[in-house]
Structure 1
Amino acid sequence: MARKPKPSEQRATRARARPKPGRNHYKLTDAQRAEIVTRLALYDSVGDITAELNAQGVDITRQAVSQYNPDNNIRLAQQWRELFFKTREQWAAEIMAEPIAQRAFRLRRLGKIHEAAMQRGAYVIAASMLEQAAKEVGNVYSNVLKTQASGKVDHTHKIEEVTPEERRNMLSDRLKEAMEAARNKAQKAAPTTH
C-alpha cells in the first residue's frame, strides 16, 4: 500500500510545479533557436540577440541565449552545432570573397590613389596613402605577433596606431595566452596520482 505524502511534501511538490511569478515560461520554437544559433555564428552579440527576442515578446535571458553557442555549451544538440559551424564557415567564405577583405586588393587600390594624388600634386594625400600601405604591409591592422628565436613575443603594434576595438582584441588574446600558460604551468606542477 502506497504511503500518503505528508502535507509539507505536498507543498514542496506544488511549489516546484509553479512557475516563478513575473516570468513568461516561453518555449522557443525551432525557428527561434535557429535564428539564435545563426546570429551567434555571425558574431552578433548575446545582448543584441536577447534584446530583439525580448522585444518580440520572447522572455529569454542572456545566459539562455549564450547556451546556443557551441563554444559555451558542450551539450548543445548536434543539429544546432552543425548549423553554427556551417553558418560560420559560409560567413568566412563570403567575407574572403569580398575584394576589400584581401590585402592585395587594398594595396592595389592604395597604389592607384597614391599615383592619382601624385599626378595632381596632392602630396599630403600621397604621403598618407604611403603610410596606409606601410601599415597594411606591416600588419598594423591585424593581430599578428612576431616571436623571436629566444621565445620572447614581440608585439609589433604601437598603441597610437591601433583602434580601441583592436586594443581590446589584442588584450583578449594576451589574456588567453597568459591563462593558457598558467594552466600549463599548473598541470606540470601538479603531482600525478595513479
Structure 2
Amino acid sequence: MPALSPDIKTFIVQQLACFDTPTQVVDAVKSEYGQAVSRQVVEGHDPTKKAGQKLAKRWVDLFNETRERFKTETADIPIANKAYRLRALHRMAVRAESIKNMALAAQLMEQAAKETGGAYTNKQQLEHSGPNGAPIQSADMTPGRFRDVARGLMEDV
C-alpha cells in the first residue's frame, strides 16, 4: 500500500475527530481520493485509540482542534435546533393529513409532543407538591414522636 499523502492524513484525522467510524472514513477516502486504505491504518490516526497513541503531535493537535470546533459548531446545524425540528414535523403532519395517512399523522403528532415535552433531553422534571397540587405534608419525626408512630404501626400488625 502506498504511503498516504498529507492531504489524505488530514482528511482521515478530521473525519475521525468528527466522530466518524473507521469504516465510514475508509469509504470516504475511497470515494474522495480514490485510494484504498484499511481500517487499521485509519485507526492509527485516532489519538483516542490504542493504535493512535504514537501519532505525531501535529496530527494530535489537528484532531483536538477539529473535535472542539465540531462540538461547538453543532448549534449551526439546523436539525440540532428544537424549533427547526418542530417546524419540519409540522410540515410532515400537514402533508400526512392531506394524503389521508392518519396513522402517520398521529405518529408525527406524538413525536412533536415528545419533542416539546422534553422527552429527548437528559433533564429531569421533579414535582414539588403533594397530591393534587396540595402542599407537601411534613411529618414530625422528633425521637419521641418517631417512637409513638413506630408503636402505632406495630400495633396494627
Q: TM-score, normalised by structure 1?
A: 0.44
- SS of the residue aligned with 2:3? coil
Matched, 1:71 2:48: yes
Equivalent residue runs for 1:115-194 within 5 Å: 124=102, 127-138=106-117, 140-141=119-120, 144=122
Q: What do the CA deviations read for 1:136-186 (whole angstroms, capped 9, x no partner)? A: 2455556x486x9xxxxxxxxxxxxxxxxxxxxxxxxxxxxxxxxxxxxxx
Matched, 1:80 2:56: no
Cα 1:74–1:138, aligned 2, differ >3 Å: closer, same or farther?
Answer: farther
Supply the distance in 2 between the matched residues of 1:112 and 1:61 (Cα, whole angstroms).
Answer: 43
Supply the distance in 2 between the matched residues of 1:68 and 1:145 (Cα, whole angstroms).
Answer: 35
Supply the distance in 1 between the matched residues of 2:120 and 2:75 (Cα, whole angstroms).
Answer: 16
Cα 1:98–1:56, aligned 2, differ >3 Å: closer, same or farther?
Answer: closer
Count of residue pairs the alignment pairs up: 117
Supply the distance in 1 between the matched residues of 2:48 and 2:119 (Cα, whole angstroms).
Answer: 28
For structure 1, the residue ranges without an aligned partner over 5 or more in a row are 1-23, 149-194
> Aligned AA for 2:46?
N
Give the superposition deviation at 1:43: 2.9
Give the superposition deviation at 1:35: 1.4
Report the counterpart of residue 84 of structure 2 in structure 1: 105
2:69 is matched with which residue: 90, 98, 101? 90
Supply the distance in 2 between the matched residues of 1:113 and 1:47 (Cα, whole angstroms).
Answer: 33
Supply the distance in 2 between the matched residues of 1:76 and 1:135 (Cα, whole angstroms).
Answer: 44
Matched, 1:30 2:40: no
CA RMSD, Structure 1 to Structure 2 (Å): 3.8
1:62 is matched with which residue: 30, 39, 46? 39
Supply the distance in 1 between the matched residues of 2:111 and 2:123 (Cα, whole angstroms).
Answer: 19
Q: Higher relative contact order at CA 8 Å, sep ≥6: structure 1 or structure 2?
A: 2
Report the counterpart of residue 162 of structure 1 in structure 2: none
Supply the distance in 2 between the matched residues of 1:91 and 1:34 (Cα, whole angstroms).
Answer: 15
Greater C-alpha radius of gyration: 2
> What is the percent sequence identity of the aligned residues?
32
Supply the distance in 2 between the matched residues of 1:128 and 1:98 (Cα, whole angstroms).
Answer: 24
Cα 1:126–1:76, aligned 2, differ >3 Å: closer, same or farther?
Answer: same
Report the counterpart of residue 148 of structure 2 in structure 1: none
Supply the distance in 2 between the matched residues of 1:90 and 1:104 (Cα, whole angstroms).
Answer: 23
